[in-house]
Structure formats: C-alpha cells, structure tokens
Structure 1
Amino acid sequence: MTAPVTTVLLVFGRGVATAGGEWVLTPAGAARVDAAIGYVSAHRDAFDAAAAPLVVFSGGWAEAAEGAPRPPEGCREGDLMVARARAAGLDRHAALRTECRSRSTLENLLHTVEDGLLAGHEFGPGHPLGLVSHAWHLPRIRFLARKVLRLRGAALLDVPATGGEPASRRERALHVASRLWFLGVADPAGLLRRERAVVAALRRRPAG
C-alpha cells in the first residue's frame, strides 16, 4: 500500500554553530532542511494546486541546555533553516513558517502548537503530519508527538534525513529515558516542568 503524501511537514533543528564569525546550521541541521526540500520536490505533482504544502521549521538554540549564549536576532535555528530553504527556492512551492524559541525536541512540539503553526489542520491516516529528522531521532519525536499532539501510528509520517552526522548512540538512551521522565504526564505544562527539572538535575550532577 502506498503511503499518503503529507501536505504539512514539521522540520526539527539540530543545533547552530559559528563559522568565520557567522552563525550557521550544523551539517545535520542542514541535512534536515534538505530532506524537506527533497520531499516537496519529489511530490509536487501530488499537491493540490489550490493549496501549497506547509513546511514548519522549528528550532531555537539547543545549545542553551549547556548554557551557551542566545544567538543574535535572525540567527536562531528556525531563522537559519528557513533561509536555507528560501535560498533553494522552496518558498516558490510551499508556505514556510518558523518557530524560533525551542531548546529541545519537546519544546519543538509544544511551541509549534502554542504559536498556532498547525492551526486549521486535522491529521489522521489519510492526512498525516510529516516529521522531518534523522531516522535515529524519529522514534523519540513520535513518542513526544503522542503526548503533545495526541497523534500516533499512521497519523504521523516519517521523512528521514540523511547525512550530516552518524547515528547518535546517545539518542537511544534519551528515547528510553524520555519514557521514564514523562511517565504519567500528559498536559503540556507538566511535560515542560518535568523536562526542565530533569535538565536542572543533570546540570547539578557532579562530573566523573
């Protein structure tokens, strides 16, 4: 059975860095933007001419978790991702939106909803929400999407990115840990409080 074509893509950031005095996407972050561009390009014939697909780029500065300073205005992940997409001409074929406050995968989902970037869209097996990230990240995104968006299974469509960095060994541990951290928590405020408490506890943990 052929998978349905999604008309809404949510692209997850993978960090920012500085190079030559400028803020840039990490190679993995750039790969995720390219995956969204590739998906829209590959399925243009399937989109209704009356309604362009929607691509939401979500990311602030994940490095905030390590105490890194806030990038200047216009240089957060979402800004850099949409700039790369526009440079490739994606705005000629899709509506582009950004969410630039997030510092984690959970916040990607929470802030996207809070900012109304998915408003007006109902998702289900025939109209799934496309999740754009690396294959090793997608299981945790799906787990959190079930918590935040109440979506699961065929209501979500994986759009895997390739390249930029090897598979993350740490990610599997994070996925397992997330199931423990958020056990029994379902409301957005509670999820965010739990995540921030865990991050604070990890920061206080002595090294070694």
Structure 2
Amino acid sequence: MTAPVATVLLVFGRGVTTAGGRHVLTPASAARVGAAIDYVHAHRDAFAAAAAPLVVFSGGWAGASRGAPRPPEGCREGDLMLAAARAAGLSAHAALKLECRSRSTLENLLHTVEDGLLAGHAFGPGHPLGLVSHAWHLPRIRFLARKVLGLPGAALLDVPATGGEPASRRERALHVASRLWFLGVTDPAGLLRRERAMVASLRRRATG
C-alpha cells in the first residue's frame, strides 16, 4: 500500500543567531527548512493532481524563557524560515504561511491553531499533518500535537530533518517531564500554565 503524503507541513524553528551583524537561522533551523523543501519536491507528482501543498513555518522567540533579548521586527524564527523558503523558490510549489509569536514547542502548536493557519484542513490516517523537525524532537511534538489538535498518532506524519546540530541531551528530559506535567490537561490555558510551572521546576533543579 502506498504511504500517505502530507499536503500540509508544520515546520518547527530551532533558534536564531547573529552573523556579520545580521540575525540568521541557526544551522538546525535551516536544516528544518531544507527538510520541508525536500519533502515538497520529492512528492511533486502527488501534489500535481491536487491543490498546492501548504507549509506553515512556526517559530518566534525561543530564547525568551532564558532571558534572550527580543529579536528585531522581521527577524524571528518564523520570519527567517519563511524568507529562506522563498529564496529557495518554494513559493512556486507550495502556499507558505507564518506564525512568529511562539516561544516553545507547545506555543508553536497553540498559536498555529489560534491564528487559523490550519483552518479548512481535516487530518486523518489518509491525509496526515506533516511535522517537520529533527528526529529527537518529533516524539515530544507528536505528544503535544495529540493534546492540542486531538489527532490520533496515525494522523501525524514525521518529516525528519538531518544535520545542523547533534541530538539534544535536554530533549529526553523535556519529553518525560511533559508527559507528567500535562497529564489529563488538554485546554490551551491549562497547558500553558503547566508548561510555565514545568519550565520553572526544571530550571530550579538545574541550578539547585
């Protein structure tokens, strides 16, 4: 049986840095943009018989919780990922959208929904939502996507990026902590409260 193709991709940012006085994507963020571009090109024949695919770039100010300064207007993760995709010519093959308010993976999902960027799309095993990130990040994204979007695992398709940085040592701890702190919670406000409490707890443990 032919594997289903995701006609909607949600791309998660992985930070912004500076080079030559300019704000630029980290190599990991750039790798995720590249993975989305490669996926669209690899499935161009499947998309030819339907509407153009949709690619949503989600990423704002990930360093906010660590006290990182606010990036200038137009220089958040989502802004720069969208610009990189356009520069690579992806807008000729896909509709591109942007979310640039989020400060965490949970907020990536919540704000994407709140901004209506997935409106009009129904997801299921035959029409999955593509999640674009590194393999070590995808398990936590899947867990949170089920919470926020209410989708079964079969309605989510991993689109792993490679390169840019090694696997995050902190990610496994975040995944385990998320499963504990978000147990039984599905409403957006409750999830955000739990996330803030979880981050504060992890920070105290790291410095205690």
TM-score range, shorter chain: over 0.9
Indicate whether 1:54 and 2:49 are aligned.
no
Indicate whether 1:70 and 2:70 are aligned.
yes
Deviation by residue 1:4-55 (Cα, 9 ceiling, x = unmatched) = 1110000000011111110011100000000000000010110145511000
Match of 1:175 in 2: 175
Contact map agreement 1:148 1:188 (CA 8 A) in 2: yes
Contact map agreement 2:146 2:153 (CA 8 A) in 1: no
CA distance in 1 between counterparts of 2:187 and 2:150 reads 11
Indicate whether 1:40 and 2:40 are aligned.
yes
Deviation by residue 1:64-106 (Cα, 9 ceiling, x = unmatched) = 1101111011000000000000010000000000000011000
Secondary structure of 1:132 counterpart: strand
Secondary structure of 1:148 counterpart: helix
Contact map agreement 1:27 1:164 (CA 8 A) in 2: yes
* Structure 1 residue ranges (4+ consecutive) displaced by more than 2 angstroms after TM superposition: 197-208
Task: Return the letter of the residue paired with 2:141.
Answer: I
Contact map agreement 1:123 1:155 (CA 8 A) in 2: yes
CA distance in 1 between counterparts of 2:170 and 2:139 reads 13
CA distance in 2 between counterparts of 1:198 and 1:143 reads 16
Secondary structure of 1:47 counterpart: helix
Q: In the TM superposition, what is the alpha-carbon distance from 1:205 to its structure 2 partner?
A: 5.6
Q: In the TM superposition, what is the alpha-carbon distance from 1:184 to its structure 2 partner?
A: 1.5
Supply the RMSD in Å over aligned alpha carbons: 1.3
CA distance in 2 between counterparts of 1:129 and 1:60 reads 21
Match of 1:121 in 2: 121
Contact map agreement 1:65 1:103 (CA 8 A) in 2: yes
Q: In the TM superposition, what is the alpha-carbon distance from 1:201 to its structure 2 partner?
A: 4.0
- Sort the Cα spacing of 1:206 and 1:143 in 2 relative to 1 into closer, same or farther, 3 A: closer
Indicate whether 1:101 and 2:101 are aligned.
yes
Structure 2 unaligned segments of length 5 or more: list them.
Answer: none
Deviation by residue 1:131-185 (Cα, 9 ceiling, x = unmatched) = 0000000000000001000112210000000000011121111111110111121
Contact map agreement 1:142 1:152 (CA 8 A) in 2: no
Q: In the TM superposition, what is the alpha-carbon distance from 1:202 to its structure 2 partner?
A: 4.2
Secondary structure of 1:34 counterpart: helix
Task: Return the letter of the residue paired with 2:159.
Answer: V
Indicate whether 1:187 and 2:187 are aligned.
yes
Contact map agreement 1:32 1:161 (CA 8 A) in 2: yes
What is the aligned length?
A: 208
Match of 2:158 in 1: 158
CA distance in 1 between counterparts of 2:27 and 2:68 reads 19
Match of 1:20 in 2: 20
Indicate whether 1:139 and 2:173 are aligned.
no
Contact map agreement 2:56 2:97 (CA 8 A) in 1: yes
Task: Return the letter of the residue paired with 1:17.
Answer: T
Q: Percent identity?
A: 88
CA distance in 2 between counterparts of 1:49 and 1:65 reads 44
Task: Return the letter of the residue paired with 1:120.
Answer: G
Indicate whether 1:84 and 2:84 are aligned.
yes
Task: Return the letter of the residue paired with 1:181.
Answer: W
CA distance in 2 between counterparts of 1:69 and 1:189 reads 25
